[in-house]
Amino acid sequence: MPGPESIFNAFVTILVTIDPPGLAPLFLALTRGMNREERLQVSVRASLIAFAVLALFALAGAAILSVFGITLPAFRVAGGFLLFFIAFEMVFERRQDRKEKSADVAITRDHIHNLAAFPLAIPLIAGPGAISATVLLSGSFPGFAAQTVLVGILAVGLALTYLVFVLAERIDRFLGQTGRSILTRLLGVILAALAVQFVADGIKALAAS
């Protein structure tokens, strides 16, 4: 069994790579136009999906990637491109344009499920960094008992992420329409830069291998 220091280090690593505080404003921007109940549905589903993905990679991550011949740097590049597409839509209000064209249509269950899975669960919560960290940590937690501890660490990290999402919903009341529009575009630019960094790091690692 891993010691307290190893468990604490793993928890900090998971929490830093998931970065719940950094995800809060992105959650607000991506769920723009949803009511409290819809946002809660998205936050619950996104947290559960992300936990399932990270738990899977904690238990069999290295084997999964090797079976498909996928390297972590390649996964980072792919995740970066996906994030950049989302950032483009945020900056140019493409998502809002689509909502305005169907203003009389309520947000559907499929829309909530799709948004929770992509881009919130993957690649924002369970992104290349979190998956990479999980796979690397699994090597330090050998054996079923130790891997169970690692899965428990992931559960605590995702529970904290869900809590941040719930609190983030209340902040939206104070932003107003103008504040949300400014925040969406600003975060879109930041997300685009993050996406480029993902791609650059992945290409650098691929070139070095």
CA–CA separation, 93 and 95 (whole Å): 5
- Does position 177 have pLDDT exceeding 80, yes or no? no
- Does position 16 have pLDDT exceeding 90, yes or no? no
Q: Write out the two tokens for 43.
A: 């936050």
The predicted structure's pLDDT at residue 179: 77
Supply the angle between the helices 128-138 and 72-91 in degrees, to the nearest 10. Answer: 150
The predicted structure's pLDDT at residue 104: 35
Q: Write out the two tokens for 179.
A: 């504040």
Is the bond into 123 cis (omega within 30 degrees of 0)?
Answer: yes
Could you tell me the CA-to-CA distances from 147 to 4, 135, 139, 177, 194 in Å, in that order?
14, 11, 9, 45, 30
Cβ–Cβ under 8 Å, residues 198 and 128: yes
The predicted structure's pLDDT at residue 157: 96
- Does position 172 have pLDDT exceeding 70, yes or no? no
CA–CA separation, 129 and 124 (whole Å): 9
Supply the angle between the helices 128-138 and 4-18 in degrees, to the nearest 10. Answer: 160
CA–CA separation, 68 and 202 (whole Å): 18
Is the bond into 25 cis (omega within 30 degrees of 0)?
Answer: no
Using 50, 70 and 90 to split pLDDT, how confident is the model at 148?
very high
CA-based torsion, 30, 35, 40, 45: positive or negative:
negative
Cβ–Cβ under 8 Å, residues 125 and 62: no
What percent of the residues of the chain are helix, what percent strand, and what percent coil, each to the nearest 5?
Answer: 85, 0, 15
Higher per-residue pLDDT: 172 or 132: 132
Q: How do residues 51-94 score in pLDDT, each as one tens digit?
A: 999 999 999 877 887 888 888 788 778 878 877 887 887 788 76
The predicted structure's pLDDT at residue 42: 94
Using 50, 70 and 90 to split pLDDT, how confident is the model at 107?
low
Domain residue limits, the chain: 4-208
